[in-house]
Amino acid sequence: TQLLEQSPQFLSIQEGENLTVYCNSSSVFSSLQWYRQEPGEGPVLLVTVVTGGEVKKLKRLTFQFGDARKDSSLHITAAQPGDTGLYLCAGEVDSSYKLIFGSGTRLLVRP
Amino acid sequence: KAGVTQTPRYLIKTRGQQVTLSCSPISGHRSVSWYQQTPGQGLQFLFEYFSETQRNKGNFPGRFSGRQFSNSRSEMNVSTLELGDSALYLCASSLSGDAGYEKLFFGSGTQLSVL
């Protein structure tokens, strides 16, 4: 069974601080995606990483895919209240048209 | 371009009843997938449809079923509701359903409460 474990589960930080969220698995994924979900809405795709060791930057967000394609991290620099939300990593299982989601990291950025 | 539309937004049912949820994908998208989100289990895959064919199904009991119409709109049905079925049901659409590489567009979900 392929599982994605995220840490930490909850994170409450002050505006301007940096943070890193981790997504780990014992299985290899051909790609990993990161989503952000705000209350009352569905998840919105932030990025897809497909190559081991790949690093992608999206403004203040930096995403990294582990060399062995079993883990990924999301780093936010100078967090802002607008970054508040539930961050989810997800991977597809064997071209099965379904995503396995991590348990999520709930981030609160206090002004 | 209109997003994924799910109706109704909120639903309250009692145990034993059945419910039908609807999802209208983005125009041109032929793949529709459904997920259940609960605080305890997170997001779990229910099923995926492409061109009216179910291509994959998650580990849910047979009380959970779905279908897709020729215009790509999809419905899911839950019969004999149980308290544990209370959840946010999310629908996502994409062009081909290649979930690991394509962008899935999620609707805002239907919040189902079973009393």
Two tokens at A5? 């474990």
Which residues in A lie closer than 8 A to residue B56 (C-beta atoms)? 96-98
- Alpha-carbon dihedral sign for residues B26, B29, B30, B35: negative
pLDDT value, residue A62? 97
How far from A89 is each of A34, A37, A47, B53, B99, CA to CA, in Å? 4, 11, 10, 27, 13
Which pLDDT tens digit goes with each residue over A13-29?
Answer: 999 999 999 999 988 88
Residue A60 sits at the chain B interface (C-beta within 8 Å): no
Which residues in A lie closer than 8 A to residue B24 (C-beta atoms)? none
pLDDT string in tens for chain B (115-residue length):
679 999 999 999 999 999 999 999 999 999 999 999 999 899 999 999 999 999 999 999 999 999 999 999 999 999 999 999 999 999 999 998 887 788 899 999 999 999 9
Which residues in B lie closer than 8 A to residue A104 (C-beta atoms)? 42-43
Residue A48 sits at the chain B interface (C-beta within 8 Å): yes
CB contact under 8 A, B100 and A41: no
